[in-house]
Amino acid sequence: MRRPLAELAALVAGRIEGDASVAISGVNALEQAQPGQLSFYGNPRYKEALAKTRASAVLVGKDVPARAGVAWVRVDNPHLAFARISSVYHPAPTYAPGIAAQASVHPEASVHPSATVMPFATVDKGAKVGARSVLYPSAYVGESASVGDDCVLYSAVTVAARCQVGDRVILHSSCVVGADGFGFAFDFEKPEHVKIPQAGIARVEDDVELGACACVDRATTGETVIGKGSKIDNLVQIAHNVTIGPYSIVCAQVGISGSAEIGTGVVLAGQVGVVGHIRVGDMAKIGAQSGVAQNVPDGAMMSGYPAMPHANWLKASVVAPKLGELLKEVRALRRRLDELEKKGQGA
Amino acid sequence: MRRPLAELAALVAGRIEGDASVAISGVNALEQAQPGQLSFYGNPRYKEALAKTRASAVLVGKDVPARAGVAWVRVDNPHLAFARISSVYHPAPTYAPGIAAQASVHPEASVHPSATVMPFATVDKGAKVGARSVLYPSAYVGESASVGDDCVLYSAVTVAARCQVGDRVILHSSCVVGADGFGFAFDFEKPEHVKIPQAGIARVEDDVELGACACVDRATTGETVIGKGSKIDNLVQIAHNVTIGPYSIVCAQVGISGSAEIGTGVVLAGQVGVVGHIRVGDMAKIGAQSGVAQNVPDGAMMSGYPAMPHANWLKASVVAPKLGELLKEVRALRRRLDELEKKGQGA
Amino acid sequence: MRRPLAELAALVAGRIEGDASVAISGVNALEQAQPGQLSFYGNPRYKEALAKTRASAVLVGKDVPARAGVAWVRVDNPHLAFARISSVYHPAPTYAPGIAAQASVHPEASVHPSATVMPFATVDKGAKVGARSVLYPSAYVGESASVGDDCVLYSAVTVAARCQVGDRVILHSSCVVGADGFGFAFDFEKPEHVKIPQAGIARVEDDVELGACACVDRATTGETVIGKGSKIDNLVQIAHNVTIGPYSIVCAQVGISGSAEIGTGVVLAGQVGVVGHIRVGDMAKIGAQSGVAQNVPDGAMMSGYPAMPHANWLKASVVAPKLGELLKEVRALRRRLDELEKKGQGA
């Protein structure tokens, strides 16, 4: 599947500097790209890789000087353009519609005739699966749950009873939508942790992607919501009554506690923790492993444990490895001061 | 399903201030509650929500002043009373007993006639499933494993060979009881990490709940134990030979290393890490994301990384964002002291 | 299955001090061992347990003084010798070869006749399963994926399309090999996070073990690689294009971001986070919960958040709980200095 560079550039409104007729056979990262492939340069970190790449064409921004023997395709956002062109070479797979003989679809469930239900997938009573959606083996759509159109539920995914999944949602293997929220009240007299019924649902809006083993709990009452176009990575924990997004990015192993509100276009880096009942404002960015215990204003960049403005964190990070020295220094200063004061009194 | 408030109050030994005859149709949080619903107030944080709630009745403690138009139900523990009343409105679902034609039950397995085994669930050789227990699709009960009475194993749950699950246990989707503990001895000469056989089991006692994708490893020898009435949230890691509880609470994404002992009534907040071979004492409380590397005394509150007494952590948390300034300040003090000392010598 | 101690000692080239004819019925930890059992002593931490053990024989290093009534077996590496002897008492289970009637094997898949495919396991089109490998219920081997010889895929494991698993690999329940890497480019105009096709694979080399709910994402292009003999614990996140090993150890809940390179014989303790595009050098050791944001040299020991040389971390850990005091002290020093300077000016 070779395509002329000019055709690809047109797809992304790019301006070619170099040979527009070169045939492109695929896409790759700068370092791995072979002649005949197209790559992209979006981060000065890869300046050297750009200088050495064997790619025949590279998507670049406005201000990258030309290089002989490689065609530049100038675009506003090289990363985005790369995503679009890569999709040309890697179209989504197609699936034969139909329900496998070894699948289990309840007589009162509704599966669109264009959907694909693989062996050992289950669609329970009253559940719905929309057009062209695909259930891999052992996927489970619970009682009265619904999955929209053009979704993919990979192997061993769970969408529990009554939960709602929108259109074009991708649920990776073993992710769990709608397990019970974690709510108990302690009865000292028995003793016993009494379970608080988790009677709400989880709702996953259109264009969301949930990673492998990601968990989105159902609400105590009402809804836990993953807003439109948000992307959630592997092993993320989203507790009951949380709302996220739209268009937020939650990286791997983040944990968000109950009733927290994560705004629009937020980025939570890996392993961040967010306590319950707070709000992380729109467009906020939280650094990896941070512990967010208070409201975060819109647009803020926070890092650290506990989370602090990112600038403070950068300085604190430099001091942290010197804390031992700092303590010694302060003690030395005290001794010198004691000495000076003694002298002063003696004088 | 409307019930008179008086009937509900009687269930929780509550004293009504207001209209005892009001019909209650359901329960909800203060902010979401509608007229006709009952809510609860257990935390001063929600004082404003209490003032604005549209609920017709609210479970409150002893010292909350009355409010016109809302019936107060005075109880000792509003949260606990709410849990009990909520269960009236949200009873556990019932399941038709029997083994689905598409399930797999080994001829030498024993499944109680009142149990429910859904399609693609497997009960392996010599395994037992007790009365009224429910296996959702793709749940797996391994060879010679046992599951007691009144349990629910949601979709894709694993109870591996020989592991034991008590009565009234809830295992959420994709949780894994009894994967091998992580034990290897390095052979430099080959080189090779030689696997240490994990020959023990995991035992989950009565009334335990394990979250989605929670992992409880089997012991190297002997048992890993989740004690009676303990509640474990999603994505928690419990290593080989750990013992927890009874009545402990382990929040999401906590990791507990091998042979650690977590006492009675302990609370580990989200993302806490506990190193191996230590003890966290009874009734201890550990703050979110803390790193526990030493024994924790009974009743202690610890937070931070490394974990320290909570009071120290609160102070350290205030200083952390100022570390950059602190370093500068100390350097400035040193310069001033140098200056003073020079003058002193000059004098 | 009782064996004379002499026979066991010969297996590990051990030298017996004591009764070589004692019959050993099994192995156990020092504290749990019963008469007739063999244990090992590899860490001074267990000195007291060694003194009290009821074991009939103990594997010990060169310099442990003899104790009456217990046979010492002197070896270079007691832990390793224990692993080998334990395997004698706990041989791997055997499985009847064959494909269960309730399994699903695609007509164009290839399953070795000596392999075992349990009910509800699926081997998809073009996939291969090697000799003596075992697929537990609900295991899934995707289209054109391959699993080598002598592997065990426990319940609900996923090996996604085109991914490659070597020989003697153990995949614990619900682990996921080959979910999509987490890559998006933001289109502000739509707005939309555009998915970057994850067209590469994940490759798991020989003798690897992956824990329950561990996730190894497929590469954007090329491969994500878990190198030969590496051992990965439960709930670990390994992002696209990461390479690990050979012979590295990754403990539970570690997260490794995209394109990071983890060298040979590295140890990452529990809950460590590693940012993308950096290298952790051969034989490096990273302490629990550390945040690694920069390259780590070969052989380094690092700890902390952010990760720093372990020696600095030990000192910083001592200071951390005193930060509140330290701030006060510095302020007090400043006041005293103010005072001294005032006096000096007055003089």
CATH number at residue A178: 2.160.10.10
pLDDT at B12 over 90: yes
Is residue B57 located within the same domain as residue B104? Answer: no
Dist. CA A214–CA A217, nearest whole Å: 10
| Enclosing domain of residue B31 | 3-89
Q: What percent of chain B has pLDDT over 90?
A: 92
Q: What ipTM does the predicted assembly reach? A: 0.96
Packing angle, helices C323-346 and B310-319, rounded to 10: 50
User: Are C185 and A271 within 8 A, CB to CB?
Assistant: no
User: Could you tell me if A238 and A123 lie in one domain?
Assistant: yes
Beta-carbon contacts of B4 under 8 Å, excluding residues fewer than 6 positions away, are B20, B21, B22, B23, B24
CA distance C208 to chain A (A): 20
Of A91-95, B147-151, B212-216, C271-275, the least confident: A91-95
Query: At CA B120, angle to CA B116 and CA B125, rounded to 5?
Result: 80
* pLDDT of amino acid A336: 92
Backbone angles phi, psi at C93, to 5 degrees: -65, 160
Cβ distance C213 to B174 less than 8 Å, yes or no, reads: yes
Q: Per residue of chain C (347 residues), give pLDDT as tens.
A: 899 999 999 999 999 999 999 999 999 999 999 999 999 999 888 999 999 999 999 999 988 888 888 999 999 999 999 999 999 999 999 999 999 999 999 999 999 999 999 999 999 999 999 999 999 999 999 999 999 999 999 999 999 999 999 999 999 999 999 999 999 999 988 999 999 999 999 999 999 999 999 999 999 999 999 999 999 999 999 999 999 999 999 999 999 999 999 999 999 999 999 999 999 999 999 999 999 999 999 999 999 999 999 999 999 999 999 999 999 999 999 999 998 888 877 65
Within a domain: B331: no
Residue A288 is nearest to which of C191, C291, C312, comparing CB atoms?
A: C291
Residues C34 and C119 occupy one common structural domain: no
Which residues of chain C make contact with A47, given a CB cutoff of 8 A? none
Mean pLDDT by 10 residues, chain A (347 residues): 95 95 95 95 91 96 88 96 96 96 98 98 98 98 98 98 98 98 94 96 98 98 97 98 98 98 98 97 98 98 96 95 94 92 74
- The verdict on B71 and B177 lying in the same domain is no
Which residues on chain C are in Cβ contact (under 8 Å) with B330? 330
Contact A327 C330 (CB under 8 A): no
| CATH assignment of the domain containing C9 | 3.40.1390.10
| C122 and C147 within one domain | yes
Whether C213 and B122 lie within 8 Å, measured CB to CB? no
HSE-CB of C279 using CA atoms within 13 angstroms: 8
Where is the domain boundary, C46, C66, C89? C89
**Number of neighbouring beta carbons within 10 Å of residue C29:** 21
pLDDT at A210: 98
Which class for A56: exposed (0-12), middle (13-18), buried (19 or more C-beta within 10 A)? Answer: buried
- State the pLDDT at residue C68: 85
B122: nearest CA partner in chain C: C137
Q: Both tokens of residue C346? A: 């007055």
Nearest to B293 by CA among C304, A252, C296: C304
Same domain membership, residue B47 and residue B14: yes
From CA C331, how far away is CA B333, in angstroms rounded?
A: 10
| Best CA proximity match to B194, nearest among C52, C40, C46, A56 | C40
Burial tier of C345 (Cβ tally within 10 Å: 0-12, 13-18, 19+): exposed
Spatial separation of the C-alpha atoms in residues B27 and B78, rounded to whole Å: 13
DSSP state of A303: E
Q: Provide the percentage of residues in chain B whose pLDDT is more than 70.
A: 99
Do C34 and C148 belong together in one domain?
Answer: no
The residue out of C69, C89, C109 marking a domain boundary is: C89
Q: How many of the other CB atoms lie within 10 Å of CB of B66?
A: 11
A17 and A66 both lie in a single domain: yes
> Which of C255, C269, C166 is CA-nearest to residue C217?
C255
Strand order across the beta sheet in which C164-165 lies: C110-111, C128-129, C146-147, C164-165, C201-204, C223-226, C243-244, C261-262, C279-280
List, in sequence order, every residue forming a beta bridge with A291; answer none if it has no partner.
A273
Peptide bond into B44 cis (omega under 30): no
Look at residue C247 and tell me if it is in a domain: yes
Sign of CA dihedral A114, A120, A121, A127: positive
Q: What is the pLDDT of residue A1?
A: 82
Nearest Cα to A197, choosing from B170, B76, B155?
B170
Place of tokens 């290897």: B184
Of B77, B249, B289, the CB nearest to A291: B289
Number of cross-chain residue pairs from B and C with Cβ atoms under 8 Å apart: 205
Dist. CA A124–CA A118, nearest whole Å: 14
Give the pairing type, strands C267-268 and C249-250.
Answer: parallel
Q: Which of B90, B234, B288 sits opposite A273 (nearest CB)?
A: B288
Nearest in space to B272 (alpha carbons), one of C253, A259, C302, A181: C253
C144 lies in some domain: yes
- Asked if residue A278 is part of any domain, the answer here is yes
pLDDT the model gives residue C1: 82
Using an 8 Å CB-CB cutoff, list chain B residues near A182: 211, 231, 233-234, 251-252
Residue C190: Cβ within 10 Å count: 10
Q: CB–CB of C179 and A170 under 8 A?
A: no
Summarised one tens digit per residue, pLDDT across range A307-339 is: 999 999 999 999 999 999 999 999 999 999 998
Q: Kindly list the residues from chain A whose CB atom is less than 8 angstroms away from the CB atom of residue C255.
A: 235, 252-253, 270-271
Q: What are phi and psi of C149, to 5 degrees?
A: -90, 150
Length of chain C, in residues: 347
Structure token pair of residue C326 = 């330290």
Q: How far apart are CA B174 and CA C159, in angstroms?
A: 16
Do residues A271 and A250 lie in contact, with contact meaning Cβ atoms separated by under 8 Å? no
Alpha carbon of residue B167 to chain centroid? 18
Q: Which residue has the tokens 């149709």?
A: B25
> Chain B partners of A251 at a C-beta cutoff of 8 Å?
none
User: How distant is the alpha carbon of residue A107 from its chain centre?
Assistant: 36
Cα three-residue angle A151-A252-A313, rounded to 5 degrees = 140
Specify if C346 maps to a domain.
no
Q: Residue C346: its pLDDT value, please?
A: 60
Residue labelled with tokens 């000469």: B189
Which of the 8 DSSP states describes residue B31? Answer: T
Q: Give residues with Cβ within 8 angstroms of B138, minimum separation 6.
A: A120, A122, A138, A140, A156, B120, B121, B155, B156, C120, C137, C138, C156
Query: Residue C149: exposed, middle, or buried by beta-carbon count in 10 A (0-12, 13-18, 19+)?
Result: middle
B323-346 and A323-346 helices, crossing angle to 10°: 30
What's the 3-state SS for chain C?
CCEEHHHHHHHCCCEEECCCCCEECEECCCCCCCCCEEEECCCHHHHHHHHHCCCCEEEECCCCCCCCCCEEEECCCHHHHHHHHHHHHCCCCCCCCEECCCCEECCCCEECCCCEECCCCEECCCCEECCCCEECCCCEECCCCEECCCCEECCCCEECCCCEECCCCEECCCCEECCCCCCEEEECCCCEEEECCCCCEEEECCCCEECCCCEECCCCCCEEEECCCCEECCCCEECCCCEECCCCEECCCCEECCCCEECCCCEECCCCEECCCCEECCCCEECCCCEECCCECCCCEEECCCCEEHHHHHHHHHHHHHHHHHHHHHHHHHHHHHHHHHHHHHC
Task: Report how many domains make up chain C.
Answer: 2
Closest-CA residue of chain B to C82: B196
Peptide bond into C78 cis (omega under 30): no
Q: With beta carbons less than 8 A apart as the criterion, state whether C229 and C207 touch.
A: yes
pLDDT number for residue A322: 95
Helix, strand, coil % in chain B, rounded to nearest 5: 20, 30, 55
Length of chain B, in residues: 347
Answer yes or no: is B344 within a domain. no
From C172, C240, C277, C310, active-site residue? C240
Q: Are the C-beta atoms of B182 and B143 separated by less than 8 Å?
A: no
Could you tell me which chains touch chain B, where touching means 3 or more CB pairs under 8 A? A, C
Would you please indicate which residues of A are annotated as catalytic (active-site) residues? 240
Task: pLDDT band for B347, please (50, 70, 90 cuts).
Answer: low
On whether both C191 and C136 belong to a single domain, the answer is yes
Residue C155's Cβ-side half-sphere holds a number of Cα atoms within 13 Å equal to 29
Q: Is residue A73 part of a domain?
A: yes
In a domain, A337, yes or no: no
What number of other Cβ atoms are within 10 A of residue C109's Cβ? 20
> pTM here?
0.97
Whether residues B47 and B133 share a domain: the answer is: no
A151/chain B closest Cα distance in angstroms: 20
Nearest CA in chain C to B198: C90
Q: Are residues A135 and A278 in the same domain?
A: yes
Is a pLDDT exceeding 90 seen at residue B235?
yes
- Rounded to the nearest angstrom, the minimum Cα separation between B65 and chain A is 24
- CA-to-CA distance for C103 and C222, rounded, in angstroms? 32
Are B31 and B165 members of one domain?
no
Nearest-CB residue to C273 (from A27, A138, A289): A289
> Residue B194 and residue C326: Cβ atoms within 8 Å?
no
Report the pLDDT value the prediction gives residue C341, as an integer from 0 to 100. Answer: 86
Q: Pull the structure tokens for residue C150.
A: 């002598």
Q: Where are the beta strands (DSSP E) in A63-182?
A: 71-74, 98-99, 104-105, 110-111, 116-117, 122-123, 128-129, 134-135, 140-141, 146-147, 152-153, 158-159, 164-165, 170-171, 176-177
Known catalytic residues of B are 240
Pairs of residues, one from chain A and one from chain B, whose beta carbons lie less than 8 Å apart? 205
The pLDDT score that the predictor gives to residue B19 is 92
Please tell me the predicted confidence (pLDDT) of residue C347: 52
- Neighbour count for residue B13 (Cβ, 10 Å): 11
Token digits for C286? 């990273």
